[in-house]
Amino acid sequence: MTTRIYKYFSKPLNLAILNGVLIAILIGFNIYYQAFCIPTTWTIVVLVICFTTTILYPILEKTKLAPLISFISGITTFIFIYCIIFLGGINFLGIIMFGLGVLLVLFLKLLKKTKLATFSSYIIGAIFLIFAVGIISIEGIELLGFVMIDIGIGLAAIIPFFIIFQLILKNIFKPTVKNYRYYFLLSTILCIGIVIYIGHDYKKAINSIEKFKGSNYQELEKNFMTEKILGMHFIYHTEFCGYDGWRPPKHDPALVIGMWLNNRHDPLDVDLGTRLELYQKFFPSNKYKFDCSCGIRYSIDYHNDKLWKQ
C-alpha cells in the first residue's frame, strides 16, 4: 500500500494537488484556531509567493523556472522551520500523530494478509472522520471533542515537517540538475543573514525605547521596529498560546525573531492601556483594532474587550 501511495504521489500533478490540499488545511487551521492569526502585509506577500511555489514546483521543476523555484524553496523551508519553532510544544502532537500513523500503516499491512482486509478500509474512513470532526469541533470541549481536536491539530502539525522533508529531498538530495541545489543553499544563507539583521535591528530598537522612557515618553525614534514594539500585546502577538480568550490578531515574524534573538525582551514595561495610548499618540494614522480577532471562537471577546472603550 505504501509503495502504491509513493508511486501515486511521485507523479508531478498528484504531488502538486497534495501540496495544495496540505497548505489549504494549514490556512484553514490558522483561520479557525489560534496560531499565526493575520500576517502583516509583507508576510502575506512572501507567503503567497512561497506557498504558490510549493504547490507548483513538482510541475515546474523541469522547466526553465527551476533555478528560481529552487531559490524560493529554500526560503519556504526557512519559513516552515520558523513555524515549527514558533508552535513549540504543539509539535509534540504532530510527532505523536506521525508515530501513530507509522504504526497504523504497519497494522493495516498485517490486516491485509488476513480475513480482516476489508475492515482496514473502515479504519481509514474512521481516521478521516476523526480528522474532520477535529477541524469542525468548536464549542463544548468535552473529553471526546478535546481528543478529536487534538488529533486534528496533531495531524496538521505534521504538515510543516512533511513539506520541509519534501523540499530538502527534492532540492538537495534529488535535484533535477545538480547545480540547482546551490540556488536552494544560497537562499537559506540569505535567510540566515536576514535573521541576523533582524536581531540587530531589534537590539537597536531596544535602545531607542530606553531613550523614549528617559524622555518621559515624549520623544520616540519612529521606525519599523519601534512601531512593532509599541504595538505589542494589542496589535502584534509574540508567541503561541492556545485557548487564551483572545490575543493580538497580527503576526509579524520580524518582531518575533527579534525578540527570540534578544532573550524575548520587551523593553516597554507599561500596562496595556498606556501602551495603546502611546501607540495612538505616535502612530495616529495606523489602525490598531481589526475586523477579526485571532481565532473565530474568540471574536466576541476581542471586540467587546474594555480596552477599546477607554
For the chain, give the mean pLDDT: 81
The 8-class DSSP code of residue 261 comes to: T
pLDDT at site 260: 95
Round to whole Å and give the CA distance between 12 and 52.
15
Q: How confident is the model at residue 142 (pLDDT cuts 50, 70, 90)?
A: very low
Round to whole Å and give the CA distance between 310 and 293.
19
pLDDT at site 25: 84
- 155-174 average pLDDT score: 88
pLDDT at 131 over 60: no
pLDDT at 217 over 90: yes
pLDDT at 297 over 70: no
The 8-class DSSP code of residue 38 comes to: E
**Degrees (nearest 5) of the Cα angle 117, 120, 125?**
150
Contact 23, 79 (CB under 8 A): no
Give the residue, 249 or 98, on which the prediction is more confident.
249
pLDDT at site 10: 78
pLDDT at site 148: 46
- 271-299 average pLDDT score: 82
**Degrees (nearest 5) of the Cα angle 283, 284, 286?**
70
pLDDT at 143 over 60: no
Name the residue ranges covered by the structural domains of the chain.
2-184, 194-309
pTM of the model: 0.81
- 46-66 average pLDDT score: 92
pLDDT at site 258: 96
DSSP SS3 for 113? coil
Contact 253, 44 (CB under 8 A): no
pLDDT at site 265: 87
Contact 172, 184 (CB under 8 A): yes
Give the residue, 274 or 176, on which the prediction is more confident.
274
pLDDT at site 277: 94
